[in-house]
């Protein structure tokens, strides 16, 4: 089998009916995307205003403590994604999702009631402990066929991207009216709405077979095809987090005030969804998914080169930055849709939760590493150097993805 066939879905030559979602698949995908959206909207609403609002709490004059309060969510996520994934393999997807959302809601309400930075930090840590991404993604994989799974994952990715863009628009307006505590309270309510949707609207999960326990984790870690995808998502989110240490300043330098940044982000996100729908799904059906993935990785890397040029020049026009962000979101959304779909295909059903737990852990660690990378380089005054580092990571990732073996991913 040729290397180019590695990521070709088995249903690439099936009739058009085989790549259309059934009503059950549409229902599952829609409601699970909605659960992701409710949870992520709550998280994203807090991020644009957290640093400014947290400074008003006792202890908020310490930037290091504010940074810890913001970032500890990612740390507890990274620690608990694998346990939640393993639990979903053993106990069932829906019970684990409900439990995780309840923990997330409890953390949100704890942060809403906090009257100090310490209380905010504890609330954020408890929010992160509700690490349900792996269980939700595994349930989505259980309820969709290989031929439509990338489309289902893309729906989840689209919901997350839309919530990110919407939060940039709503967060300042809501913070001015209900404050940070109100935003956390709203986040808790949204999480409880996700619990209701899981219990009463998401279709029942199919039988999963006999759980494999800790051996499933060992299988997921030892599978070369899976760890290549894990490494890829870690790099992708490290690059994304590091970028946003500089991109807002570039937009301000180009003449766009912070309150208007959504005017660039929202059109870029929406247009990237249109491009993904026009490119990813038709090419996947024709058996060209590997080429699409490599192109998307290269595109993200080229955007880093463009941002380096914009940063090093000291001035970049707003249209240039808008095009670069559009290209970034095109590559990002293609990778966000296709990589978890491939993880779910390579991992047998009994270890799917474990495999996606490892994948989501790598994602969280990538976010954490990206923040550290941006903070360290910016503190050293190496703004343009940040994009040299992210571009180098993309090049390494491209080399790793290029060597994906033939066959089943091994």
The pLDDT tens digits of the residues spanning 151-188 come to 888 888 778 778 877 887 788 788 888 999 999 999 99
Number of domains in the chain: 1
Average pLDDT over residues 75-101: 91
Residue 3's pLDDT band (boundaries 50, 70, 90)?
A: very low
Name the residue with higher pLDDT: 3 or 327.
Answer: 327
% of residues, the chain, pLDDT over 90: 34
Mean pLDDT over the full length of the chain: 84
Residue 345's pLDDT band (boundaries 50, 70, 90)?
A: confident
Average pLDDT over residues 224-242: 89
Residue 214's pLDDT band (boundaries 50, 70, 90)?
A: low
* Report for 82-86, 289-293, 305-309: range of highest mean pLDDT: 305-309
Q: What is the domain extent for residue 96?
A: 3-402
Give me the CATH number covering residue 87. 1.20.1250.20
Q: Judge whether residue 217 has pLDDT over 50.
A: yes
Domain assignment present for residue 136? The answer is yes
Q: Judge whether residue 407 has pLDDT over 50.
A: no
Domain assignment present for residue 407? The answer is no
Name the residue with higher pLDDT: 21 or 168.
Answer: 21
Residue 90's pLDDT band (boundaries 50, 70, 90)?
A: confident
Give residue for tokens 């953390």.
Answer: 107
Average pLDDT over residues 192-212: 82
Per-residue pLDDT at 210: 55
Q: Judge whether residue 64 has pLDDT over 90.
A: no
Q: Judge whether residue 67 has pLDDT over 80.
A: no
Average pLDDT over residues 58-65: 79
Domain assignment present for residue 362? The answer is yes
If one counts every other C-beta atom within 10 angstroms of the C-beta of residue 64, the result is 7
Domain assignment present for residue 409? The answer is no
Name the residue with higher pLDDT: 313 or 115.
Answer: 115
Per-residue pLDDT at 12: 41
Domain assignment present for residue 408? The answer is no
pLDDT tens, position by position, 41-50: 887 788 777 7
Q: Judge whether residue 5 has pLDDT over 60.
A: no
Q: Judge whether residue 82 has pLDDT over 60.
A: yes
Average pLDDT over residues 84-109: 94
Residue 409's pLDDT band (boundaries 50, 70, 90)?
A: very low
């Amino acid at each position: 089998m040729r290397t180019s066939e590695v990521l070709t879905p088995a249903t690439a030559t099936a009739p058009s009916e085989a790549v259309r979602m059934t009503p059950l698949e549409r229902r599952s995908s829609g409601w699970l995307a909605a659960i992701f959206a409710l949870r992520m909207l709550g998280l994203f609403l807090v991020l644009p205003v957290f640093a400014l609002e947290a400074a008003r709490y006792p202890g908020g004059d310490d930037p290091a403590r504010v940074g810890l309060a913001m970032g500890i969510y990612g740390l507890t996520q990274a620690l608990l994604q694998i346990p939640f994934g393993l639990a979903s393999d053993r106990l069932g997807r829906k019970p684990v999702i409900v439990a995780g959302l309840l923990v997330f809601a409890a953390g949100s309400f704890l942060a809403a009631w906090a009257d100090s930075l310490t209380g905010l930090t504890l609330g954020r840590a408890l929010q992160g402990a509700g690490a349900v991404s792996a269980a939700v993604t595994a349930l989505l994989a259980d309820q969709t066929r290989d031929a439509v799974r990338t489309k289902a994952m893309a729906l989840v990715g689209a919901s997350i991207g839309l919530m990110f863009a919407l939060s940039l628009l709503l967060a300042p307006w809501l913070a001015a009216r209900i404050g940070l505590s109100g935003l956390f309270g709203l986040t808790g309510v949204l999480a409880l709405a996700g619990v209701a949707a899981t219990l009463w609207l998401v279709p029942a999960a199919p039988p999963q077979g006999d759980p494999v326990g800790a051996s499933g984790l060992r299988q997921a870690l030892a599978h070369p095809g899976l760890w290549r995808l894990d490494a890829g998502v870690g790099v992708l989110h490290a690059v994304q987090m590091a970028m946003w240490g500089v991109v807002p300043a570039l937009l301000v330098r180009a003449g766009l005030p912070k309150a208007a940044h959504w005017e660039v982000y929202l059109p870029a996100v929406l247009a990237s969804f249109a491009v993904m729908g026009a490119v990813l799904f038709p090419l996947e059906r024709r058996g060209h998914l590997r080429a699409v993935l490599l192109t998307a990785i290269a595109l993200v890397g080229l955007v880093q080169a463009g941002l380096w040029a914009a940063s090093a020049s000291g001035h970049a026009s707003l249209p240039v930055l808008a095009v670069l962000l559009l290209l970034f979101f095109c590559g990002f959304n293609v990778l966000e849709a296709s990589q978890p779909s491939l993880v779910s295909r390579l991992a047998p059903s009994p270890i799917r939760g474990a495999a996606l737990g490892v994948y989501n852990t790598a994602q969280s660690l990538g976010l954490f590493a990206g923040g550290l990378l941006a903070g360290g380089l910016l503190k050293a005054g190496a703004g343009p150097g940040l994009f040299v580092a992210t571009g180098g990571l993309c090049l390494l990732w491209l080399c790793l993805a290029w060597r994906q073996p033939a066959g089943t991913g091994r």
